Amino acid sequence: MELSPGVHQIEGVSGANSFLVVTNQDSAVIDTGLPGNEKKIVEYARKQGIEPNKLSYIILTHPDLDHSGSAAKLKGLTGAKVAIHEADAPRLSGEKKLKEVKGGMGLILGVMGVFMKFTPVKPDVVLKDSDRLLDLVVVYTPGHTEGSISLYRERVAMFVGDALRTNSAGKPILPPGGFTVNMDQAKESIRKISALQYAFLLPGHGPPITKDASSALASFVQSGFK
Ligand SMILES: [Zn+2]
């Protein structure tokens, strides 16, 4: 579904939201969902007139399995370059383990891991704050993971990964504590992106905010993240 010109949410991707960004010359997928979504993503792009070998980048907001799970196979199908922040690159490439999850969810994910296997992938592009890919600016928003990023299409859209999420009513909420490496840092990151201007906020989980998103985020910060 095209939310704004050149900004698509790819329907039916399981795990986390997956987006397709299209410019005049280029295209990129932001996050890939759990393992097994690569064909859905390729089919969606094809419907938009983007043949698999024309996809330039697979940008991961962070390496958690629900975002990176289909990256290796999607790269195999398209030849797109995989991009991730430098602080999270060693987890994507398999040099470090994926995030340890605290509490009961860790157990559940451990059990899931038996069925859902992570395929490490060596990043082709290692990102830093303020880098540009297509017409997107990398905004370093650590907290959920060490290397979490948001991607900013100036004045239009902010892709936040798991820097925050939205509830079913489309209101901003904090990322879940058990999955978040450093909550104070996560709050600082939300403050950072709340200072920029955009109409659309595209989270990894929950429905996108499609109107006055930066004002919604500013009031979320002002209310003490409630
Ligand atoms: Zn997630």
Residue pLDDT, tens place only, 117-165: 889 999 999 999 999 999 999 999 999 999 999 999 999 999 999 999 9
Q: What is the mean pLDDT of the chain?
A: 93
For residue 176, report the distance from its CA to the centre of ligand 1, in Å: 9
161 Cα to the center of ligand 1, angstroms: 7
Q: How far is the CA of 27 from the centre of ligand 1 (A)?
A: 22
Ligand 1 centroid to Cα of residue 7, in Å, is: 20
Tokens of 155: 């004045």
Angle of CA points 153, 163, 103, to nearest 5°: 160
- Cα(205) to ligand 1 centroid in Å equals 6
- 171 CA to centre of ligand 1 in angstroms: 17
Q: In this structure, are residues 145 and 99 in contact, taking their beta carbons and an 8 Å threshold?
A: yes
Phi/psi of residue 73, nearest 5 degrees:
-70, -35
Residue in the structure block whose two tokens are 């798991």: 162
Expressed in angstroms and rounded, the spacing between residue 201 Cα and the centre of ligand 1 is 15
pLDDT of residue 23: 96
Using the mean position of ligand 1's atoms as its centre, give its distance from the Cα of residue 197 in Å: 24
User: Could you write out the DSSP letters of every residue in 41-71?
Assistant: HHHHHHHTT--GGG--EEE-SS--HHHHTTH
Q: Can you give the pTM of this predicted structure?
A: 0.94
Average pLDDT of the segment spanning 73-99: 94
pLDDT surpassing 70 at residue 59: yes
CA of 164 to the centre of ligand 1 (A): 10
Q: Identify the pLDDT of residue 107.
A: 55
Section 90-104 average pLDDT? 79
Q: Is the pLDDT of residue 99 over 60?
A: yes
Whole-number Å distance, alpha carbon 48 to ligand 1 midpoint, is 26
What's the CA-to-centroid distance between 67 and ligand 1, angstroms?
Answer: 6
Kindly give the distance from the C-alpha atom of residue 18 to the centroid of ligand 1, in angstroms, as a whole number. 11
- Count of CA atoms in the C-beta half-sphere (13 A) of 74: 37
Domain 2-222's class?
alpha beta
Distance from the CA of 66 to the center of ligand 1, in angstroms? 5
Query: 196 alpha carbon to ligand 1 midpoint, in Å?
Result: 23
